Amino acid sequence: MKTKHNSDVIEAAGGLVWRMGAAGKELAVIHRARYDDWTLPKGKLEKDESWESGAVREVWEETGCRAKLDDFAGSVSYLAGNQPKIVLFWHMHLLDEGEFKASDEVDQLLWLSLEEAAERVQYPGEKTLLKNLPSD
């Protein structure tokens, strides 16, 4: 599905990236120094980029992980300044965890249980998204 990019709505995509840790399923959560916030990996779509491709690209850029899309996880919407923004999220499984490298944009990556991730993320829409997921 191609994005239109002809409206004032900011379109972004991201992933709920899962891996198996010592204590069970873990979810990737990132810290952005610029905003001093904890969030799920996501970002704006590039021109003519599909939602799915954007989600995979953003996860790789922000976490160093190569991941494959699984099921659609949900969406969040909010105002970014005075502009509406919508973010579509997919569940993703790791193909290659790669190596996280801190950058100007993302300075930390944590792997947390679903419950810990829901507590750590700071945005209400992301908290609700995670809290509404079935826990395994």
What number is the average pLDDT over the span 12-21?
96
Q: For the stretch 89-99, what's the b/e string if a residue is b when 16 or more beta carbons lie within 10 angstroms of its beta carbon?
A: bbbbebeeeee
pLDDT at 4: 52
The answer as to whether 107 is a domain residue is: yes
Residue 65 and residue 28 in contact, taking contact as beta carbons nearer than 8 Å: yes
Q: Has residue 119 been placed in a domain?
A: yes
> What is the span of the domain harbouring residue 127?
10-131
Which amino acid appears at position 21 of this protein? Answer: G
For residue 3, being part of any structural domain is answered with no
- Each residue's pLDDT tens digit, 31-55: 999 999 999 999 999 999 999 999 9
Q: Within 10 A of 29 (CB to CB), how many other CB atoms are there?
A: 24
- We report the CATH number of the domain holding residue 54 as 3.90.79.10
In a domain, 50, yes or no: yes
> In terms of pTM, does the model score above 0.85?
yes
Domain tally, the chain: 1
Pairing of strands 24-32, 108-112: antiparallel
Tell me if 4 is assigned to some domain. Answer: no
